[in-house]
Structure 1
Amino acid sequence: MERKAFLDQEAPPGYVAGVGRGATGFVTSAQSARFESAFGGENTEVPDDSGLLAANDDDEADRIYQEIDRRLSRPKKEEKATPGVEIETGTGVIRHEFSTLKAGLASVSVDEWAALPEAADITRKNKRQRLLDQQSQRTYAAPDTLIASRAQVAEIDKWAEQEAAPEDVERRRAVLSSLRRTEPHRASSWIASAKLEETVLNFGRAKALIAEGCRRAPHNETVWLESVRLHRSEPTKVCKNIIAEALRANTYSEKLWMQAMDLENPHDVVSRKKIAMKALEYLPENSKLWQTLVDLEDTKEDKIRLLSKATDLCSDWSFWSALVALSDYGDARAVLNRARKKLTNEPRVWVAALQLEEREKADVTVKRLSSMLAKGMKEVGEDTWDVRKWLDEASQAEKDGFFKSCAAIVENTMSLLSEETRLNQMIQWAETYASSPKTASSIYESITKFYPHNISSWTALFASLKKEAEISRNSTQLELSAAADRRENKQTSSQTPKDLQQLYSYYENAISLNPELALFRLMYAKDKWILGEDVAGARNILESASQQLPTNEKIWLARVKLEVRNYEYEQAFRLSNEALDAINTEPRLWYKHIHLLRFCVYKQMDFVSQEDLLQKSSTALDLFPDNYKLYLQRSQILLDIEDVKGARDILTVGARKCTQTAEIHVATAELDLGQGFPARARANLDSALLENPKSEKLWECKIRLEQTENDMITARQLVSKALKELPSSPVIWLQNLSMIQKSSHRKNAFLDALKHTNNATEVLLGIGVFFWLEGKFSKAKAWFDRALTADRKNGDAWGWNYCFFTKMGPPQEKDRLLAEVKDDFDDINKGKAWISVTKDKANLNISPGECLKLVAEKLLSTTA
């Protein structure tokens, strides 16, 4: 709105604002006197007091109003400044009331600073976060000055403690002086006083005080030892004089005699012997002095002589043990007999007797040693030592190389356990001493004697014996000369080691005690084949097993596998046919037999044809029409001969027969998609999901179908639906993670996936794969290790570790991984890439190392 022009003009003369509206202007009494009254008579003077007073009142009012006008006309004064202190900053002034708050920021910790919320500015948020992460991952080499400064601070603190304040030293001197006067014969006061003077570098005063202490408390060995310490900077003769005077007053002090020997020249053995023998005159039962004297002797005869004397005077077992070790067999037995009579409650006498027998008689049996120890335990009392003490002694015997003595100790110790809790206690003790293979295997052997039909005990015994054999084999390989040729090495390896013979004997014992159990026969054959490298022996074991257990499919399959691994395909084919004749009711045998035929046809072997393969497959389906694996196998056979329609038809029949099997529907959808019929594949999966909505394989196949068709919106919607149906499925969570494009957004998704799947192996491995694709190989390796540790049966985890060692790791680590996968090869049965490689007809006879390489190649190709 525009401002009116008259508002900026001067008012006309005589203008009074508001008069036109009936308002009356403000006038003083002086101004009103100038106007003529309309009535008259108002200004008539009245000669009395009231008139005088009235005039004075007007003057007073005028002065008041004039003062008001004068004060109002003055410019306003600035407000009085507050006493607060103003603090200059880069952007303004902080008043005093904020200065205390700012000072309080000094007490804020680094973690509290880091926890402060970010500002609301979200521009370039991702880039700023990425830069922050990069800065947090950087490492810097710390200069030596940092460590040096810390060391200097420590030295300064130590010096400050030593350089105490003079008044503190004087105060302590006064206190100690008072103590010396009060109790002059108390050695600790003199020692403390001498140490105080030594701290302030007053060595003369310290020596004088300790000398006075020796005079006041001559029978205290500590004060003499302190005196020797303070005088070590002086000639040795001074210290010898002090120790001689000390020994005159303390003849029975072991520490003083030992100090006297230490003062002698280490090469002056004669003088040290003289002092030791002089000390033994006063302390004939002191084991430390006897041990020192024995150590000073050089010849075996002198040591035996001194040890014989020491055993007569001392009850220390170490002298008896040393004497037995130095004596011949006959003398050692005599020594042990004397020890048994003198040390009636010492179990180590009998342990030494066992070790002596084992040392001198190589053919002594564990049974003989066990009976000896049983007699000894009755003599000394079974409650002299507890079970742990006996097992510790057995473990020590194992470390010393007395394995038979170890077994005898364990056998007798296990008989001490109560029958009610014996089995559980024996298992616990075996687990406790797992680091001592011989001790643990002896415990398991005792379990098998008490409980011959306990399968877990037998398997634990075999595992312990194999560990023991591996340790022995490694030590033997280290002893072999590096220059040995291949022929010598072959001759050495062809001989059956003694530890393997022991393992085989236990297998035979287990089989004889459990003749109807196939597990021990299979384990025996496998170890004979792998550890002993004896294929013929393994073949004989399995042949005998199939004769005694002719209807056991595992034995027949093991026989076929042995022949395939040794490239005897025709023999494997013959055994597979015999297995079908013996057991015609097991679909697994038919599946394995047809798989072998597929391999033989692929290799174009003349003893089998494509017609035989098709006929066997048809016969198997007629016998087992409800087995979905046979339908899948039949479709693969038809696809091998490019009969796509026949494969589609057989899958359709299988879907009708096996309605709850997701694998057939997945195979049908993949076949349709490969033939270019995505709509038919989608319809098939939709109908299958209606019947089986909880199948993660169907959901995964449908999601992959939409991804193949580049319909990412539908794929994301399917992932959301699948997570509602299967919130803990690792497969669906991996699909969800693959939908997240930016790696910075995956962090929270990783945590959610791990939480909902309970750290599933597939998720651990999938996270490692994401880091691998981003080029963060060290992080990927950490997740691969976690996955392999969580489940060693997952072949994909082995494959990704092999990928890392091939790309980044040293060759020896890759070789170690190949050796480990060879040991666990038969137990690995998980992982899509692993199963795909092992189930391929062309890979029936590949070795574990070759299989791992193929799995690694397949994993890299799927992530390319």
Structure 2
Amino acid sequence: MSAIHPGALLNKTKKNFIGMPAPLGYVAGVGRGATGFTTRSDIGPARDANDVSDDRHAPPNKRKKKDDDDDEDLNDANYDEFNGYGGSLCSKDPYDKDDEEADAIYDEIDKRMDEKRKEYREMRLKAELENYRQERPKIQQMFSDLKRELAQVSEGEWSTIPEVGDARNRKQRNPRAERFTPLPDSVLSHNLGGENVTAINPSSGLASMMPGTNTPGMVTPSGDLDLRKIGQARNTLMDMRLNQVSDAVGGQTVVDPKGYLTDLQSMIPQYGGDINDVKKARLLLKSVRETNPNHSPGWIASARLEEVTGKLQSARNLIMKGCEMCPKSEDVWLEAARLQTPEMAKSVIAQAVQTLPYSPRIWIKGADLETELKAKKRVYRKALEQIPNSELLWKLAVELEEEEDAKILLSRAVECCPTSVDLWLALARLETYENSRKVLNKARENNPKDRLIWITAAKLEEANNNNSLVNKIIERAIATLQANMVDINRDQWIKDAMEAEHSGAVVTCQAIIKNIIGYGVEEEDRKHTWMEDAESCANQGAFECARAIYGHALTVFPKKKSVWLAAAHFERTHGTRESLETLLQQAVTHCPQEETLWLMGAKSKWLAKDVPAARSILALAFKANPNSEEIWLAAVKLESENDEFERSIRLLSKARSQAPTPKVMMKSAHLEWALGNLEAAKRLLDDGLEKFKDFDKLWMMKGQILEQQKQYDAASEVYREAVKTCHHSIPLWKLLAQLEEKMGKIVTARATLEKGRVRNPRNDQLWLASIRLELKAGNKDVSKSLMARALQENSTSGILWAQAIFLEDPPQRKSRSVDALKRCQDDAHVVLSVAKMFWMDGKKNKAREWFNKTVKIDPDFGDAWALYFKMESMFGTEDQKNEVEKRCIAADPRHGEHWQETAKSIYNWRKKTPEILRIVAERLPIPVMNREVY
């Protein structure tokens, strides 16, 4: 039982909380330190923690009065059709905590179910909205495709669109207009007699008298009206009036009788906009002028509006009024001078000069209005008397003078504008060497923070062959600028070096690069940054700057092979043969173990037809790299290219004994094969296969030699043995399948390719070989099914998509090519196929564009060059054909199915790029619409 405070007994008045349930967790007297306790009877039987607790402090139930039903409100306003009188049927039932908890649970369930259905409901609503929009689209959606096409409308097409006319009839356009009914011709003929014209030719029909009248009229022999006579009379009257207004002096006619009406066409209006817009603009600008009459842009805008609408005099009046209201505005005076005639403009500028004598722009405008050179000079000199510190006026005045007078003017100019670097430099250019040095020294004193003065001084010393002072000047310049707290911008100095190179100051350019290239660069980033700077300079045509950067980098990193190689590639591309060889001599002394540097030096000598020097370089390379495969093979190639086959064979024999590598064995066998020693070649191949059984090129060469000897069965055995050992070599599988196809074993070839695809999954070359095998066998449907499977495994293979285009019928090839370009946009094989399609359609210019795009994407693709050359040989000019050949030689392609087959043929082992290009072009078939392309 809860404790009762003793003070509560003193109050006889009943409190309002007596008989009410205690709050949850209530402990009587807790504020005074009392501690509540719980007995077993309070806890009751054991129950779950989530069960609804017993409300032990519930209020006593109040008894319902028996006469509740009698007190029920039976008024009509309290009647409900569904619930009857008194509202809800359940309003008298008690609503306890169980009901509240149940309602909350049901609300949560409804909310959860609503969230589950929300996605489906939104999707259904979206679908219904889309269907509704398709059935009843908006106007902007209906014309969206036309709006997109408007982006391609040219300016000329826009100007030719006619204005929208008023489609209403005259009554609708002007309902209050007076109706006009033309008079009949009889009334006109009756009233013509009132005018007495004696100069009319009687043959016109106007001299006859009307019957029964004393006035001349128009009658015909038949008595009817002759409209032709009326026209003739009208022309006669027009000629008479034109003659009356003609000028009798000198027989000249003021009005052209034939073309005075058509001359109105020469009066072309300058403004073609809506006249209502002009009226609104006038009212707006008038309000601006009246509100703020000292606002110069308002006067200028008003004058230009009148000028645009063709009212030039109104524009002049307005702008002159603006000059009165805004006399201190340069823009208003300049606008007034522009709108006036040249003579009037001079007077306007004269007034402006009196009002604003210190405005350079007004003086310059005045000089521009003068036509004679002396007058211009006089204006500029008067301007300089008023504004002696204007750098712009001095420059313009100096430009009009001869050299001696310009020198005098510049001497005065640098006194008036000592901070103008341009004036100092201009004066230095006109002076002699000694005076120029003095001028530049004074310029440095007046402008200690300008770098251009120092650079000009360095160029001056270089121009007078004092190259030793150039580097000192640049060093002192950087030190002085740093002392004057000037930020040294490395990129800006490099640009100055490039400008110095373009102006011919090479020594100054090199000095700038030497002193600035390492400024502000972290030590670990130097090499990378310098290589990027050199490439950037080379791309911008500043080769001396790039050479200076490479030279500085080589002094800092003399043992870095990559720097030497980059410098060597630069000299080979942009330098001379002598500069390249000099660099390579230095490179091999610092990096003797780098084989590429030796080989580049030997090749340079060989291209210069200096074979003994190339041999000596290779001999030195042998000493530095005694067992280098690359150097051995380079020596062999040098001898074989110069027809020294015996020396080549001896070198290869020595190389096999000292450095027996797979490539050396292959080159040995290839040389014997090329010289026709097939048995010796087979022996070398057998020796090589004993040592290097997994080198696939040895197997290929042996099989091809056997094919050349017509020993097809032996070649087939060699290939089968090879694919067991080198099952990842795709060319071996293709050679075996081609040999079996040549022998007529189509089923065996098909099985071989399928086995190769199993061993090498997702290989597009084997899939392509299988597809072409079926095409050659006449199984086009089988090839299409194979192509579908192949594209599933290799969806981005360019060679497969290129073949897929030509598997389709001609009408479907265009859509197939679009799919191919989407999948492999930058693949040379796909782009080449599109070029073939344009060739088939007879669109040679489009084909030429796509051929160019192909060779740009992959310059190493020899088949594209050959097909391009073939098209230009057939349809192009001789210059176009030679241009393709020249570009192909520069690209020096190495890959391509037909190119490699021709270049690696033993019969073409000594042919160069131009010869191979012509051979491949002759062998390639001409693209024809209904021919299968392999």
Q: So what's the TM-score if we normalise by structure 2?
A: 0.65
Deviation by residue 1:623-657 (Cα, 9 ceiling, x = unmatched): 32332211221122233333334333333433443
Q: Does 1:840 align with 2:888?
A: no
- Match of 1:352, as an amino acid? T
Aligned partner of 1:852 among 907, 917, 927? 917
Q: Does 1:232 align with 2:307?
A: no
Deviation by residue 1:239-259 (Cα, 9 ceiling, x = unmatched): 444433432332222122222
- Cross-structure match for 2:868: 801
Q: CA deviation at 1:145?
A: 9.0
Contact 1:214 1:224 in 2 (8 A): yes
What is the distance in 1 between the residues matched to 2:761 and 2:631?
39
Structure with bigger RCO (C-alpha 8 Å, 6+ apart): 1
- Cross-structure match for 2:674: 599
Aligned partner of 1:263 among 369, 379, 383? 369
**CA 1:846/1:102 → structure 2, altered by over 3 Å: closer, same or farther?**
same
More off after superposition, 695-704 vs 411-420: 695-704
- Cross-structure match for 1:149: 160
Q: Does 1:435 align with 2:540?
A: yes
Q: Secondary structure of the equivalent of 1:860? A: coil
Q: Secondary structure of the equivalent of 2:925? A: helix
What is the distance in 1 between the residues matched to 2:295 and 2:837?
76
Aligned partner of 1:676 among 735, 738, 744? 744
Contact 1:437 1:468 in 2 (8 A): no
What is the distance in 2 between the residues matched to 1:658 and 1:759?
32
Q: Does 1:822 align with 2:889?
A: yes
- Cross-structure match for 2:624: 548
- Cross-structure match for 1:108: 142
Q: CA deviation at 1:193?
A: 5.5
What is the distance in 2 between the residues matched to 1:682 and 1:377?
76
Contact 1:800 1:859 in 2 (8 A): yes
Q: CA deviation at 1:839?
A: 0.8
Deviation by residue 1:542-584 (Cα, 9 ceiling, x = unmatched): 3332332232222222233334444444444444334334322
Q: CA deviation at 1:764?
A: 3.3
What is the distance in 2 between the residues matched to 1:780 and 1:653?
45
What is the distance in 1 between the residues matched to 2:756 and 2:297?
93
Contact 1:802 1:814 in 2 (8 A): yes
- Match of 1:598, as an amino acid? W
Within a 5 Å distance, the mapping from 1:480-499 to structure 2 comes to 499=576
Gaps of 5+ in 1: 1-100, 116-138, 470-498, 602-608
What is the distance in 2 between the residues matched to 1:222 and 1:746?
66
Deviation by residue 1:111-133 (Cα, 9 ceiling, x = unmatched): 27999xxxxxxxxxxxxxxxxxx
What is the distance in 2 between the residues matched to 1:114 and 1:282?
60
Q: CA deviation at 1:587?
A: 0.9
Q: CA deviation at 1:837?
A: 1.1
- Cross-structure match for 1:387: 490
Deviation by residue 1:737-767 (Cα, 9 ceiling, x = unmatched): 4433x12223444344455567543333344
**CA 1:258/1:111 → structure 2, altered by over 3 Å: closer, same or farther?**
closer
Q: CA deviation at 1:317?
A: 1.6
Contact 2:500 2:509 in 1 (8 A): yes
**CA 1:166/1:307 → structure 2, altered by over 3 Å: closer, same or farther?**
closer
- Cross-structure match for 1:171: 283
Q: Give the paired residue count.
A: 685
More off after superposition, 834-843 vs 623-632: 623-632
Aligned partner of 1:273 among 366, 371, 377? 377
Aligned partner of 2:734 among 651, 654, 666? 666
What is the distance in 2 between the residues matched to 1:168 and 1:749?
59
More off after superposition, 587-596 vs 689-698: 689-698
- Match of 2:490, as an amino acid? V
Aligned partner of 2:500 among 374, 397, 403? 397
Q: Does 1:340 align with 2:374?
A: no
Deviation by residue 1:262-317 (Cα, 9 ceiling, x = unmatched): 23233x42x3333322222222221122122222222x333223222222322222
Q: CA deviation at 1:346?
A: 0.7
Aligned partner of 2:478 among 359, 368, 377? 377
**CA 1:256/1:738 → structure 2, altered by over 3 Å: closer, same or farther?**
closer
- Match of 2:632, as an amino acid? W
What is the distance in 2 between the residues matched to 1:520 and 1:452?
14
What is the distance in 2 between the residues matched to 1:252 and 1:635?
96
Aligned partner of 1:417 among 497, 500, 520? 520
Deviation by residue 1:596-620 (Cα, 9 ceiling, x = unmatched): 222222xxxxxxx444333323322
Contact 1:673 1:681 in 2 (8 A): yes
- Cross-structure match for 2:700: 632
- Match of 1:802, as an amino acid? F
Within a 5 Å distance, the mapping from 1:638-657 to structure 2 comes to 638-657=706-725
Q: Secondary structure of the equivalent of 1:159? A: coil
What is the distance in 2 between the residues matched to 1:653 and 1:858?
32
Q: CA deviation at 1:663?
A: 3.1
Contact 1:345 1:384 in 2 (8 A): no
What is the distance in 1 between the residues matched to 2:284 and 2:643?
91
- Cross-structure match for 1:159: 271
What is the distance in 2 between the residues matched to 1:729 and 1:218?
76
Contact 1:176 1:193 in 2 (8 A): no
Q: Secondary structure of the equivalent of 1:285? A: coil
What is the distance in 1 between the residues matched to 2:480 and 2:321?
57
Instruction: Point out 4+ residue stretches in structure 1 off by more than 6 angstroms.
Output: 101-107, 112-115, 142-145, 150-153
Q: Secondary structure of the equivalent of 2:287? A: helix
Q: Secondary structure of the equivalent of 1:376? A: helix
- Cross-structure match for 1:328: 432
Q: Secondary structure of the equivalent of 1:664? A: helix
Aligned partner of 2:359 among 253, 256, 278? 253
What is the distance in 2 between the residues matched to 1:209 and 1:670?
92
User: Counting helix residues as a fraction of each chain, which structure ranks higher?
Assistant: 1
What is the distance in 2 between the residues matched to 1:147 and 1:323?
54
More off after superposition, 671-680 vs 156-165: 156-165
What is the distance in 1 between the residues matched to 2:156 and 2:479?
68
Contact 1:390 1:409 in 2 (8 A): yes
- Cross-structure match for 1:508: 585
Contact 2:559 2:590 in 1 (8 A): yes
- Cross-structure match for 2:511: 408
Q: Secondary structure of the equivalent of 1:415? A: coil
- Match of 1:373, as an amino acid? I
Q: Secondary structure of the equivalent of 1:305? A: helix
More off after superposition, 799-808 vs 457-466: 457-466
What is the distance in 2 between the residues matched to 1:430 and 1:760?
31
- Cross-structure match for 2:467: 364
Contact 1:761 1:790 in 2 (8 A): yes
Deviation by residue 1:180-235 (Cα, 9 ceiling, x = unmatched): xx65x6655655565566566665565555555545554444443334334325xx
Tell me the percent identity: 28
Report the RMSD for the aligned CA atoms in angstroms.
Answer: 3.9
Q: So what's the TM-score if we normalise by structure 1?
A: 0.70
**CA 1:106/1:337 → structure 2, altered by over 3 Å: closer, same or farther?**
closer
Q: CA deviation at 1:849?
A: 0.8
Aligned partner of 1:560 among 636, 648, 657? 636
